[in-house]
């Protein structure tokens, strides 16, 4: 039911972990529904220089987290805010319909981390 | 890679005995058991032989055995058939919260048809309390349906006690014994059941065939209308290969049960003890003693079941889970919620179900691989991170 790309990102997830003293942290989802994503950003001059994630969830949740981090690494905050769940799902060669909410969670986690950065750095302009 | 199959509660590999019994029915014994000619009579002979075998293994009479398309049809037929045939006596049905969906969804549908259903709660181990059954009986109660053993957590229910109560109150008693046949002692008289469902593919028989036991005198509406097969109660040309396979598989499973159970229980307990000992923050779901010989069901905290299953599959191990992601809805298994597990712990459940085909080497391999997978998934779990911080 999962594409090869989903299985690849699930079995070898990229950017797993935490960033100490991260510039922005986003936490979305809840354990009751079975999915929690936490994203950590390191930002320099408006560019995401490092990103890490931790996810409690199914195969699709882990794969979308991994793909989302790859898609925003090296990008500007503005570009990161433009990341959509559709783009994440497409980059994974699609997700089963019942798993699309996982990609939405990945989008929300990235956006939440950028927003957290903005809150911590009110002077930043994007 | 050698595959390790530990999902025998979902389905089992067909036994050589069942396959060999079936093969002639795909060849020369192709007749329609209702035909008058010798080709038909050959088929009829095999059909009735199978019926006698199944009846004998259940303590029933051959004319009380009706072949169906499987456990789901047997459950549907028993419950709907008994409900409608006895509607003039009352409209109340008693069942439990941990029944299979084939029973629960049938009862929910009957509610829409004007029946009233009491869905009894279970204790933390998944046990139905016979006293609760007795208390729930009213003068409107026409049917009680309780499973012999739960498919997810393996808890074996006090069916004989419930059967006694049903008999005393003259209420029909249906038992879904799909997980029990071939695993534990099943006898329709010892249990005082009026109807009993079974499915061939759970005991190394073929898929798409099952049986319903209906005690003589028990009023049940016809489920499939058409020809006069199965003594006019279940129309459609009999699935002879399936029925013959069912009987052969059941004969082997029931006759070998005691010996197999000892061995399977040893493997089960080694697996349970090993997993609980090597993986911290795990719990056993279901009753520690009153459980199916092959059922292992644990909850592993801080990780999600589907991810665990996929990782196990990559390592060549097949299991199943009651997590939302594997149930096809946003809620985890109704059984795990009924025994009181919070959602987040229910999401991290893993069922490994053994059969007589499993070996000790396989159990050892799972005990080696599973803790590593859990560690790896926990290391990427924000819930685990939060737990560790709170522990400090």
Our answer to whether residue A33 is catalytic in this structure is yes
Q: What is the pLDDT of residue B212?
A: 98
Nearest chain A residue (CA) to B374: A56
| A29: alpha, beta or left? (left if phi > 0; alpha if psi -120 to 50) | left
d(CA A80, CA A24): 13
Whether pLDDT at A31 is above 90: no
Residue entry with tokens 């809150």: A119
Residue entry with tokens 């058991």: B33
Q: What is the pLDDT of residue B330?
A: 65
Residue tagged active-site, from A33, A49, A98, A126: A33
Q: What is the pLDDT of residue B328?
A: 59
Cα B273–chain centre separation: 24
Q: Give the C-alpha distances (Å, rounded to integers) separating B11 from B136, B305, B339, B362.
A: 34, 19, 24, 18
Nearest chain B residue (CA) to A31: B344
Answer whether B372 touches A (CB < 8 Å).
Answer: no
Name the pLDDT band for A103 (thresholds 50, 70, 90). confident
Q: What is the pLDDT of residue B173?
A: 98
Residue entry with tokens 């499993």: B358
Answer whether B344 touches A (CB < 8 Å).
Answer: yes
Whether pLDDT at B327 is above 60: no
> HSE of A45 in the Cβ direction (CA atoms, 13 Å)?
1
Read off the pLDDT of residues A80-89 as tens digits, 9 standing for 90 and up.
Answer: 999 999 999 9
Q: What is the pLDDT of residue A2?
A: 93
Q: What is the pLDDT of residue B326?
A: 59
Name the pLDDT band for B323 (thresholds 50, 70, 90). confident
The 3-state DSSP class for residue A94 equals coil
Nearest-CA distance from A114 to chain B in Å?
18
Read off the pLDDT of residues B346-361 as tens digits, 9 standing for 90 and up.
Answer: 999 999 999 999 999 9
Question: pTM (2 decimals)?
Answer: 0.94
Structural contact between residues B75 and B100, judged by C-beta atoms closer than 8 angstroms = yes
Whether pLDDT at B324 is above 70: no
Nearest-CA distance from B200 to chain A in Å?
27
The 3-state DSSP class for residue A98 equals helix
d(CA A27, CA A18): 12
Q: What is the mean pLDDT of chain A?
A: 94
Structural contact between residues B385 and A59, judged by C-beta atoms closer than 8 angstroms = no
Q: What is the pLDDT of residue B1?
A: 72
What mean pLDDT comes out for the span A72-93? 96
- Chosen for mutation from B300, B302, B304 (greatest number of chain A CBs closer than 10 Å) is B304
Read off the pLDDT of residues B206-248 as tens digits, 9 standing for 90 and up.
Answer: 999 999 999 999 999 998 999 999 999 999 999 999 999 999 9
Nearest chain A residue (CA) to B377: A56
Q: What is the pLDDT of residue A30?
A: 84
A32–B343 C-beta distance less than 8 A = yes
Nearest-CA distance from B1 to chain A in Å?
17
Q: What is the pLDDT of residue B344?
A: 87
Q: Give the count of beta carbons closer than 10 Å to the beta carbon of residue A1.
A: 9
Which residues, 6+ apart, have CB-to-CB distance to B309 below 8 Å? Answer: B319, B320, B321, B326, B350
Q: What is the pLDDT of residue B208?
A: 98
Q: What is the pLDDT of residue B287?
A: 98
Nearest to B62 by CA among B284, B290, B216: B216
Strands (E) in B37-156, as ranges, are: 65-68, 92-96, 116-120, 141-145
Long-range contacts of A79-86 (CB under 8 A, 24+ apart): A80/A48, A80/A110, A80/A111, A80/A114, A81/A111, A81/A114, A81/A126, A83/A107, A83/A110, A83/A111
Structural contact between residues B142 and B172, judged by C-beta atoms closer than 8 angstroms = yes
Whether pLDDT at B194 is above 70: yes
* Complex ipTM: 0.92
| B226: alpha, beta or left? (left if phi > 0; alpha if psi -120 to 50) | left
Residue entry with tokens 């490092």: A50
Q: What is the mean pLDDT of chain B?
A: 96
B311–A56 C-beta distance less than 8 A = no
What mean pLDDT comes out for the span A30-52? 92
* Residue-wise DSSP of B167-229: HHTT-EEEEE-TTTBTTB---TTTTT-SEEEEEGGGGT--SS-EEEEE-TT-----SB-SS-H
d(CA A103, CA B368): 33
Q: Give the count of beta carbons closer than 10 Å to the beta carbon of residue B389.
A: 8
d(CA A118, CA A95): 31
């Amino acid at each position: 039911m999962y594409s090869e790309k989903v299985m690849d990102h699930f079995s070898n997830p990229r950017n797993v972990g935490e960033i100490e003293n991260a510039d922005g942290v986003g936490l979305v989802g809840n354990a009751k529904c079975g999915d929690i994503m936490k994203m950590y950003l390191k930002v320099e001059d408006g560019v995401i220089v490092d990103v890490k994630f931790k996810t409690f969830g199914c195969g699709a949740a882990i794969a979308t987290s991994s793909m989302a981090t790859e898609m925003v690494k090296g990008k500007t905050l503005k570009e990161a805010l433009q990341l959509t769940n559709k783009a994440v799902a497409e980059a994974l060669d699609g997700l089963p319909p019942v798993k699309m909410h996982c990609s939405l969670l990945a989008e929300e986690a990235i956006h939440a981390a950028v927003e957290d950065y903005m809150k911590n750095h009110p002077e930043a302009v994007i | 890679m050698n595959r390790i199959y530990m999902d025998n509660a979902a389905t089992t590999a067909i036994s050589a005995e069942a396959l060999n019994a079936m093969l002639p029915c795909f060849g020369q014994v192709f007749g329609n058991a209702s035909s008058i000619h010798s080709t038909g009579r050959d088929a009829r002979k095999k059909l009735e032989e199978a019926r006698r075998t199944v009846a004998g293994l259940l303590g029933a009479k051959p004319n009380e055995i009706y072949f169906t398309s499987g456990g789901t049809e047997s459950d549907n037929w028993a419950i709907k058939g008994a409900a409608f045939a006895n509607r003039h006596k009352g409209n109340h049905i008693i069942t439990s919260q941990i029944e299979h969906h084939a029973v629960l969804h049938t009862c929910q549908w009957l509610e829409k048809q004007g029946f009233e259903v009491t869905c009894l709660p279970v204790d933390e181990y998944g046990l139905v309390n016979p006293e609760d059954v007795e208390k729930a009986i009213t003068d409107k109660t026409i049917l009680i349906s309780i499973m012999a053993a739960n498919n997810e957590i393996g808890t074996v229910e006090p069916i004989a006690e419930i059967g006694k109560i049903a008999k005393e109150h003259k209420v029909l008693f249906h038992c879904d014994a799909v997980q029990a046949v071939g695993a534990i002692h099943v006898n329709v008289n010892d249990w005082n059941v009026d109807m009993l469902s079974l499915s061939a593919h759970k005991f190394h028989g073929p898929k798409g065939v099952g049986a319903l036991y209906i005690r003589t005198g028990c009023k049940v509406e016809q489920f499939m209308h058409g020809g006069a097969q199965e003594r006019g109660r279940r129309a459609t040309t009999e699935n002879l290969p399936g029925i013959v396979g069912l009987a052969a598989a059941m004969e082997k499973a029931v006759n070998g049960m005691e010996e197999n159970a000892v061995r399977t229980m040893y493997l089960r307990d080694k697996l349970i003890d090993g997993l609980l000992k090597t993986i911290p923050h795990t719990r056993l779901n279901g009753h520690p003693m009153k459980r199916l010989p092959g059922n292992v069901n644990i909850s592993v905290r801080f990780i999600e079941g589907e991810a665990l299953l996929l990782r196990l599959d990559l390592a060549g191990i097949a299991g199943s889970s009651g997590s939302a992601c594997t149930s096809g809805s946003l809620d985890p298994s109704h059984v795990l919620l009924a025994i009181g597990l919070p959602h987040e712990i229910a999401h991290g459940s893993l069922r490994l179900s053994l059969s007589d085909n499993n070996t000790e080497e396989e159990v050892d391999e799972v005990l080696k691989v599973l803790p590593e997978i859990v560690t790896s998934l926990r290391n990427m779990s924000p819930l685990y991170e939060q737990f560790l911080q709170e522990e400090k």
